[in-house]
Every structure is written in structure tokens, then in C-alpha cells.
Structure 1
Amino acid sequence: MKRRDFINWVGLGWIATSLPVAIAACSSESTTPKTSASGDWQTVGTSAELDKAGQLLAKNSPVGPVLVVGTSKTAMTAVDPTCTHKGCTVVWQAQTKKFACPCHHSEFGIDGKVQKGPATEPLKTYAAKIERNSVVVKPV
């Protein structure tokens, strides 16, 4: 075999092995599989945990930090507990039914809307429900 033929075969082999990678990189379809059979619902804890404390904080859930308040027998509210002012973690105040930031005293209603500044943006909210014995949420 001549050197020129050998180099051509090596080049052709390199192109053939690189082609699937190039096609996949240019594809506009997402290759990320669905994480839940019921759509975008993600498990953040158990109904037993929620019922015990009346709230459930999942700092490392699949959708990011989530604070769920309520019980499995009543309506639930779920928000991203990251204060929109400076990023502190808000706490649920059951007596006043507000989310309060311990850092700069912003207050948010049960719907996540700002009730008292310095924060100006609402908390991100999630739909929440009980599925079997799990608390599941999805962005709204």
C-alpha cells in the first residue's frame, strides 16, 4: 500500500468516526430524557415529612430549592425560598401566613408576591400536590 493511500484511508476513517458526534452536536432536539412519567412533576419529599412539620424545605431538589407549606390534608403552597433581594433563604411564619427574609426583613405573601421591601420581585412559585406518598412540584 502506498503512503498516499494509507493517509487517505486514515482520513476517511477519522471522518467516519467523527460524523455521528458532529450530527448529534448540530441536532436541535434535546436528548435529555423526561424525569417523570407525569410530565415535569418532581419529587421533593414525603407527605409524612410535610405533615410532621407543616412545611418541607428541599434545598437540593431536581428543580432547585423548594419550600412547601401546608399539609397533605390541606392546600399546599410551594415557592423557591431564595429571597429576590439578596439571596437569603426565607422562612415560613405560620402565624402571619407570610414568608419572611431574616437578612433584610422583606416579606412575601403566601402567593410569593412582595408585601414589604426591600425586595421588589416575587418569589418563584410551584404547583404542588401529593402523589402516592410523595410531595411533588412543578414550575408554574
Structure 2
Amino acid sequence: MKRREFLSWVGVGGLASFLPMAIAACTPAGESTAEVPNTPDSFEAVGTVSQLEAEGQILNENFKNGAISVTRNPEDSELLYAVNPTCTHNRCLVDWNAAERKYICPCHGAEYSPDGTVIKGPAQENLPPYLVKIEGAQVLVQAI
């Protein structure tokens, strides 16, 4: 190994060893970098009930964990579904088709039920689900 290659590897290793300390130093005192616990406080408003009624879906692309889509269960309007609407096949944002009551991927035609279950491939994995509830006029989704 040449001296220049050796020094490059030592430099990369040195930087990598300081990364955890830099992250810890940038975290405010008393705040943990650990995963947020599943508590009622971890719910975030993503839209309103009137928005859900008018549009049939709430699509919020600025949710803490990425995009979120909320729909009602076609058989039981009291039951809500919240899923990450990013296709598990090709990472495209799937479209909610209210008439057919399913998500359809515009890239390769994968289809998902309202709860995110794969109906038709090429996708093999379901859309990730989230807990969802209504409080007052707000639709809240659990940010984990």
C-alpha cells in the first residue's frame, strides 16, 4: 500500500471516529437521540375532518416521517387508515383513486388497498401503516 493511500484511510477512519461525538455535542441538553416513545404526545395533526370529508383523502407530504395519506375505510366510515404513500416497489408517490377505493402507483401500476395491503404487483411489500385518530376537528397521526 502506498503512503498516500494509507494516509487517506487513516483520515477517513479518524473522521468516522469523531462523528458520534459531533452528533452528541449538537444534541440539546436533556434531549435524547433515541426513538420517540409511543405515547399520545407523539400524535401530529395532518389535516382536518372537513378536509377528509371534502377530498376523500388527506395527503400530507410534510409529515415528520415523510409523506402520509389518510383515508376512510370504505365499509366502515368510522375507521380511518393512515399509510406512507410511497410505493414499496419503486419509491414513487402512489395516487388515491376514490372511485376505485385503492392506491395506484403511477410508475408501474402497483395497487394497494386503503389499509396499504398489496392488491396487484409488481410491489411485494405493503405500504407502512400508522396509527390515526380524530380529536375535535383535527386528524392526528402517530409520529414514531
Both proteins in one fold, TM over 0.5: yes
TM-score norm. by structure 1 comes to: 0.68
Distance in 1 (CA, whole Å) between partners of 2:102 and 2:117 is: 10
- CA-based RMSD of the aligned residues comes to 3.1
Are 2:96 and 2:104, in contact at CA under 8 Å, matched by a contact in 1?
yes
CA contact (8 A) 1:42 1:63 kept: no
Corresponding residue for 1:121?
125
The TM-score, its normalising length taken from structure 2, stands at 0.67
Q: Where in structure 1 are there 5+ consecutive unaligned residues?
A: 1-20
8 Å CA contact retained: 1:125, 1:139: no
- Provide Cα deviations, 1:75-103, integer angstroms capped at 9, x if missing partner: 21111010011111111122332111011
Unaligned runs of 5+ in 2: 1-20
Kept after mapping to 2: 8 A contact 1:45/1:134: yes
Alpha-carbon separation, structure 1, partners of 2:63 and 2:33: 21
1:79 lines up with 2:118 in the alignment: no
DSSP-derived class of the 1:58 partner: strand
**Largest Rg, 1 or 2:** 1
Matches within 5 A, 1:1-140: 25=25, 30=32, 38-70=40-72, 74-138=78-142
% identical equivalent positions: 42
CA distance in 2, matches of 1:125, 1:139: 11
Separation (CA, whole Å) in 1 of partners of 2:122 and 2:56: 27
Q: CA distance change for structure 1 residues 117 and 105 in 2, over 3 Å: closer, same or farther?
A: same
Specify the alignment match of 1:18 in structure 2.
none
Which structure 1 residue ranges, 4+ long, deviate > 4 Å from structure 2?
none
Q: CA deviation at 1:49?
A: 1.2
Greater Cα offset, 99-108 or 86-95: 86-95
Q: What SS does structure 2 have at the residue aligned with 1:137?
A: strand
